[in-house]
Amino acid sequence: MAVHAHPDDESSKGAATTAKYVADGHEVLVVSCTGGERGDVLNPALKDDPHILRDLAQVRRDEMAAAQAILGVEHTWLGFVDSGLPEGDPRPPLPPGCFALEDVDIAAEALVREIRRFRPHVVTTYDENGGYPHPDHIMTNRVSVAAFVAAGDPERYPHAGEPWQPLKLYYNAGFHRERLETMHRALTDRGLDSPFAQWLERRKDTPDRRITTRVSCAEHFDKRDAALKAHATQVDPNGHFFAVPNQVQAEVWPTEEYELAMSYVPTTDDEDDLFAGIDPATADELATSSPELLRDDRIESTLGEWR
């Protein structure tokens, strides 16, 4: 299960990984917490299209359906309202009723219901900073962590389905410094323009997060890009996401990276598989164990004590 804030996030963060696991025969569910109703039109060719501006919410749904078909994933809307990205000085308040202002307990129950219905062994989402500080991305982390903790506990949300405990929780690593530096060098060494110099300058004093897992998925980069381009209002086809040719990426950086946040199975810091340590023969039994036994057997958590 890949939990994301908006439609298009599933295609810009970990999409080649999800396509790989679909190709390997795994079921993959993308959860979109919001409908992306307040997103801007970021494709210069479409920003003044009256048909798009008339009903952006439906456009975002149609784009998500197209991306879902390309990736081969299942998809569900959690049903909350996009918070937008307030800008200015002073920054305006978030709009009433938006996802970022929702009660975490209410949103977590909605996600728990999906976890118990779909019964994933692995959940991916964003780190506590949201990957970048969009209010919906930060809220997605808070809700995902709360739901991961609660889903296996029969005393939590008893009307949301039979308890099911996912065994691993990961954060998408995204555009971390090592990856940016490698991509930047790959372009400049080939005499190509790089859009990453400014990114690296902005991040020079920001330490990278821990990377525990590198999933080899280069054969799915084209599918990842096609899914992202299906979100035509949200991405410039000439922008930085497509600056490095996929054959170059496959040569210099053929993986997508993750940070393991919680695990109920033995792990290492150099995994190459999100399912590493999960025994298919016992996974379902472990996922339905009592929460007390699971807590006693918890291997790793980067989030401190359970709450």
Binding site residue list for Zn(2+): 6, 9, 137
The three-state (H, E, C) secondary structure of the chain, written as one string: CEEECCCCHHHHCCHHHHHHHHHCCCCCEEEEEECCCCCCCCCCCCCCCHHHHHCHHHHHHHHHHHHHHHHCCEEEEEEECCCCCCCCCCCCCCCCCCHHHCCHHHHHHHHHHHHHHHCCCEEEECCCCCCCCCHHHHHHHHHHHHHHHHCCCCCCCCCCCCCCCCCEEEEECCCCHHHHHHHHHHHHHCCCCCCCHHHHHHCCCCCCCCCCEEEECHHHHHHHHHHHHHCCCCCCCCCHHHCCCHHHHHHHCCEEEEEEEEECCCCCCCECCCCCCCCCCCHHHHHCCCHHHHHHHCCEECCCCCC
Annotated binding site: 6, 9, 137
32 bridge partner residues: 4, 77
